Amino acid sequence: MYTAEEWYRIRVGFGGPEDFYPLKHVSHTQWGRVFSVPDSALLDVKIEDPQQSERTCFSITSVTHVTHCTGVRGILADQCMKFANEKEIGEGLSVRFSWWHAEANQMEKEEKKEKLKETTEAWTRERAGNLPQDVGSLRDSLLEQFISSPAFLKISNYGNFKFTYKLNDLIGEYEKSVCKGKYPEFRVLGTFRYDREVMHTVVVHPPGVEIFEKCPPLPSEVITREGAEWKWRPESTGSEMRVLIQGGDGSWRVSDCDPDSRSWEYLSFAFYLPDEKPEFPLPLELRHLSVCEMDRSQRFRKVYLTKDEAEKIYRSLLPSNTPTG
């Protein structure tokens, strides 16, 4: 069993190290990294004093599972996830999960971007003055550091094939197949940290699983659930840091900080699969599947495909009488 006393390093692999802080959804400031800065500290660059952070709230109705070309063929053929990899969550403790990432509501993303646009423009005018031809471009450059991380984009670091499922439907299927009709429990598994990513994880498991008895039940600061409604509250929604500075000639410009990168957050649901039956017989069909572009930074991985290459594979999976448009 593991404790919440401290984080530890799980491994170092492609893309950098993987650290794990069990039993807590850790905030940016708790990691002790200077450039893990929440959104609320950015415009005034309150890097040294970001405690009063306001979290942006998003509704979560859908989750996604991304895989590569071999994985998508196997899932469609088997109609279940037979080959879930083990994940280390403690010293000498590895378990199997089906991993799904939260997808923020598209309408809410647009609404919050519009609100940020108004706030950022007002903030820019207050500092730079009324510059009719410049305020818009300055504002837009500053806005690129909000709601712009891979958690909010259609690209992926893991593969080109994305299964999308309604979260509550997925929970219902898990209840029926893995929990044998009993309602699952939702607990704080912990926080995983990567080079530029912070992943808060909710473990979903059948009642009475001793492995997770020390995991706190939801809610947490990051994720809450009221009835059928799920709310995600990330602190950091972008991967850049930008500041407004004035040049010697009195003009204003937006500049990247040095370093300009910061950690961004995403939320995952880890559906526990018992060793005696490590399968999740979830109805996954072509209607749940879409093709996404794989992030360019992953181009040296063996599973990397361009989007055009992935589209060809997707078309090969369609029934012969299905129009390809």
What is the tally of structural domains in the chain? 1
Which amino acid would we find at residue 128? A
Which residue(s) pair with 100 in the sheet?
Answer: 269
Helical axes 307-317 vs 69-78, angle rounded to 10°: 20
pLDDT of residue 115 exceeding 60, the answer is yes
Specify if 197 maps to a domain: yes
Q: Please, what is the end-to-end C-alpha distance for the chain in angstroms?
A: 53
pTM above 0.85, yes or no: yes
- 325 in any annotated domain: no
Cα 228 from chain centroid? 20
295: containing domain: 20-317
pLDDT in tens, 130-176: 665 678 889 999 999 999 998 998 888 889 999 999 999 999 999 99
Strand partners, 204: 186, 271
**What single string gives the DSSP state of each residue in 204-244?**
EE-TT-GGGTTSPBSP-SSEEEETTEEEE--S---SEEEEE
Q: How far apart are CA 54 and CA 244, in angstroms?
A: 21
Say if residues 93 and 2 touch (Cβ distance below 8 Å): yes
Residue 157 covered by a domain: yes
Domain contains 14: no
Q: Do the domain assignments include residue 79? A: yes
Question: Would you say residue 120 has pLDDT above 50?
Answer: yes
- Answer whether residue 292 is part of any domain: yes
- Of all residues in the chain, what percent carry a pLDDT higher than 70? 88
pLDDT band, very low/low/confident/very high, at 191 (cuts 50, 70, 90): very high
Q: What is the pLDDT of residues 51-81, one digit of tens each?
A: 445 788 999 999 999 999 999 998 888 877 7
Give domain status of residue 323, yes or no. no
In a domain, 313, yes or no: yes
